[in-house]
């Protein structure tokens, strides 16, 4: 029996939610599964992924094969790195303490990179918002200037109109 770690779809139309399941490769996508080991919600920003790392690691060590999408999720959460280190421990290449230290360092670097990415995204978003507000202020200023010029032209036309009519009236000499 070939065992896969894959996604099983649930949720309604255009509102997909997925369960990360351990299933026989011959079973249908949304059919029978052995164990549910996590959830994936692509509707949130960023996507929400919740996994049972120890259970997944145990299945991976026993030969379960993740699909490409699930493999990307496991790599993102450091589970594939952890499995790689455990294989080294099994073979005797490294000790368990070394593997734990390397995993902690790996996760620390990954978390720092994620935090940097989030701050960069928020900074970019804030900069874009400031640029949009500045452009909007320029447009507003141009409109106000055009209205001001129009009002001044109207005031000048009004003040110039009576003087023109006074000049047109004939002056009588006596």
Note the pLDDT of residue 28.
Answer: 86
What is the number of structural domains in the chain?
Answer: 1
Question: Is 117 part of a structural domain of the chain?
Answer: no
Domain assignment present for 27: yes
Identify the pLDDT of residue 47.
85
Residue 79 lies in a domain: yes
Give phi and psi for 99, each to the nearest 5.
Answer: -65, -45
**pLDDT at 98 (0 to 100):** 94
Tell me how many degrees the CA angle 158-164-166 measures, rounded to the nearest 5. Answer: 110
CB within 8 A of 55, min separation 6: which ones? Answer: 35, 37
Domain that holds residue 85: 3-94
Tell me, what's the pLDDT at 173? 66
Residue 29 is predicted with a pLDDT of 83
Q: What pLDDT is attached to residue 134?
A: 93
State the CATH number of the domain containing residue 88.
3.30.1320.10
Predicted confidence (pLDDT) per residue in 89-135, tens digit? 999 999 999 999 999 999 999 889 888 888 888 899 899 999 999 99
Residue 86: both structure tokens together: 């455990």
pTM for the structure as a whole: 0.67
The confidence score (pLDDT) of residue 102 equals 93
Let me know if residue 57 belongs to a domain: yes
Enumerate residue ranges in the chain where pLDDT < 70.
Answer: 1, 162-174
Instruction: Give the per-residue pLDDT at 67.
Output: 94
């Amino acid at each position: 029996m070939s065992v896969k770690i894959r996604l099983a779809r649930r949720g309604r139309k255009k509102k997909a939610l997925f369960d990360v399941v351990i299933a026989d490769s011959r079973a249908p996508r949304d059919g029978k599964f052995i164990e549910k080991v996590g959830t994936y919600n692509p509707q949130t920003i960023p996507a929400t992924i919740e996994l049972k790392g120890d259970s997944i690691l145990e299945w991976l060590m026993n030969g379960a094969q993740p699909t490409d999408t699930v493999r990307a999720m496991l790599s993102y959460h450091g589970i594939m790195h952890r499995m790689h280190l455990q294989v080294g421990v099994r073979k005797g290449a490294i000790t368990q303490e070394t593997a734990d230290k390397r995993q902690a360092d790996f996760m620390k670097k990954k978390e720092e990179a994620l935090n940097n990415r989030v701050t960069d995204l928020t900074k970019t978003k804030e900069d874009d918002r400031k640029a949009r507000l500045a452009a909007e202020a320029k447009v507003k200023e141009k409109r106000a200037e055009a209205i001001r010029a129009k009002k001044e032209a109207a005031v000048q036309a009004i003040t110039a109109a009576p003087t023109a009519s006074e000049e047109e009236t004939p002056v009588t000499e006596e």
